[in-house]
Amino acid sequence: MDKLDCVVVGAGVVGLAVAREMALQGHETVLLEREASFGTISSSRNSEVIHAGIYYPKDSLKAKLCVEGNRMLYEYCRDHQVGTQRYGKLIVASDPQQVDDLHGIFYRAQQNGAREISLITAKEANALEPDLRVAAAILSKTTGIVDSHAYMLSLLGGFEDAGGMVAYLSPLNHARVIPGGFELEVGGADAMQLQTKYLINCAGMSAPAVAQRIEGIPADHIPKAYFAKGNYFSLAGKSPFRHLIYPVPEPGGLGVHLTLDMAGQAKFGPDVEWLEIESEDQINYAVDPMRGERFYAAIRQYWPDLKDGSLQADYSGVRAKIVPKDQPAGDFRIDGPNEHGIEGLYNFFGFESPALTSSLAIAKYLKGLIQLEQ
């Protein structure tokens, strides 16, 4: 059996960016995907927002890779003809008691090095968005939307042009450490065995489950997976807003916010619904229309004119969490040889938002880790 340089597990946006980077570095790389196509799980069930890096704790990987990823993603999309819309975003304190919190967020954004951020008055915010109920706001000019499907298609093209190969309907079932690498059991209709020097686990919310199938990882190095569903409701008719509108955040998520798609159509969400499940295959993605009631109340805090009956249950996605409810959101976690002691193995845990924004910076960061450890 010939040995590959690298196998990446999972063709979501993170796996695609990582696999492309490995192929560009000259590694003979295979990308294994359980589903029939790329990007069908979290990478196509999100808000497509290019975040600016505002909320995350200083010096966290989320903060660093989001700020860098924002810049890299706009540059990449410009150079590869992938659509973006730089709408800008307003974080809105809708009453005066929230203004202190808003200042705290602004301070954090500055510490993170987020670009083109300013505090604006109610008058300035209403000049931009007359329908807002607002006491003060943060304006983030580099927040925007990316056509995430076109972006992933472009990453896939770059990967294949660099000599990479993708195998669909090919779940990684089992792996064991062999001298100088790994032997893999791949399932599906064309079940096969592969050998590889590097094994990179980018299986999204199933990354902990995939890690459990890799013989030799100490059990205490595999985090428990938690699942937090985010439901969206779309707005019937034309959006009254031209910016993305966010309230001051709530625990576990960013609050019921308004985002726009590439065509300017508005949707609200995602909210935060913790699921009592053990694995990804138990997820029900249907959106319960009853959750809409909470949306009306939350949205009317900053948009009092929202009319009854104008929200429709839309789609949902599930966040890849590695910390439970009621604890502060964890950071991105890349476990390499320094953590678990296995040469050539990298596990990506907790790659929830802003991993779409950060994807190119994540791939660059991994390249640095591998170079350091060679």
Ligand X SMILES: Cc1cc2nc3c(=O)[nH]c(=O)nc-3n(C[C@H](O)[C@H](O)[C@H](O)COP(=O)(O)OP(=O)(O)OC[C@H]3O[C@@H](n4cnc5c(N)ncnc54)[C@H](O)[C@@H]3O)c2cc1C
Shortest Cβ 358–ligand X spacing (Å)? 7
Strands in the chain per DSSP E: 3-9, 29-32, 49-50, 84-85, 89-93, 117-121, 136-140, 144-146, 165-167, 172-178, 181-186, 192-201, 226-235, 244-247, 258-260, 266-268, 273-275, 311-321, 333-335, 345-349
4, 6, 7, 10: residue in contact with ligand X (rule CB under 6 A):
10
Phi, then psi, of 11 in degrees rounded to 5: -105, 50
Tracing tokens 């924004």 back to the chain, one arrives at 357
Binding mask 272-311 for ligand X (x = CB under 6 A): ----------------------------------------
The answer to whether 21 contacts ligand X (rule: CB under 6 A) is no
318, 329, 345, 366: residue in contact with ligand X (rule CB under 6 A):
318
Nearer to ligand X, 42 or 112 (CB): 42
The answer to whether 271 contacts ligand X (rule: CB under 6 A) is no
Nearer to ligand X, 9 or 370 (CB): 9
Nearer to ligand X, 126 or 195 (CB): 195
Nearer to ligand X, 14 or 136 (CB): 14
Shortest Cβ 213–ligand X spacing (Å)? 7
Torsion of CA 353, 350, 214, 12, to 10 degrees: 0
Beta strand 244-247 pairing with 49-50: unpaired
Beta strand 29-32 pairing with 3-9: parallel
In sequence order, the 6+-apart residues with CB closer than 8 A to the CB of 360 are 17, 69, 72, 73, 76
Tracing tokens 């699921």 back to the chain, one arrives at 275
Determine how many CB atoms are found less than 10 A away from the CB of residue 139: 18
Pick the piece of the chain touching ligand X (CB under 6 A) from 12-20, 78-86, 97-105, 176-184: 12-20
The answer to whether 230 contacts ligand X (rule: CB under 6 A) is yes
Nearer to ligand X, 24 or 209 (CB): 209
The answer to whether 340 contacts ligand X (rule: CB under 6 A) is no
Nearer to ligand X, 126 or 234 (CB): 234
Interacting positions 164-223 with ligand X (CB under 6 A) = 171-172, 202-204, 206, 210
CA distances 280 to 193, 275, 347, Å, are: 25, 10, 17
Asked if 64 and 150 count as a contact pair (C-beta separation under 8 A), the reply is no
Shortest Cβ 145–ligand X spacing (Å)? 8
Pick the piece of the chain touching ligand X (CB under 6 A) from 47-55, 97-105, 128-136, 219-227: 47-55
Nearer to ligand X, 134 or 203 (CB): 203
The answer to whether 73 contacts ligand X (rule: CB under 6 A) is no
Provide the token pair at 119.
């505090």
Shortest Cβ 44–ligand X spacing (Å)? 7
Nearer to ligand X, 93 or 356 (CB): 356
Beta strand 192-201 pairing with 3-9: parallel
Shortest Cβ 269–ligand X spacing (Å)? 7
Nearer to ligand X, 45 or 243 (CB): 45
**In what side-by-side order are the strands of the sheet with 144-146?**
49-50, 144-146, 84-85
Shortest Cβ 353–ligand X spacing (Å)? 3
Determine how many CB atoms are found less than 10 A away from the CB of residue 251: 11
Which residue is closest to ligand X by CB? 12
Distance CA 311, CA 290 (A): 11
Interacting positions 232-261 with ligand X (CB under 6 A) = none
Q: Using DSSP, state whether 146 is helix, strand or coil.
A: strand
Pick the piece of the chain touching ligand X (CB under 6 A) from 74-82, 239-247, 322-330, 352-360: 352-360
Q: Using DSSP, state whether 347 is helix, strand or coil.
A: strand
Helix axes 13-24, 148-161, angle to 10 degrees: 30
Shortest Cβ 97–ligand X spacing (Å)? 28
Residues near ligand X, by CB under 6 A: 9-15, 32-35, 39-43, 45-49, 51, 171-172, 202-204, 206, 210, 230, 270, 317-319, 351-357
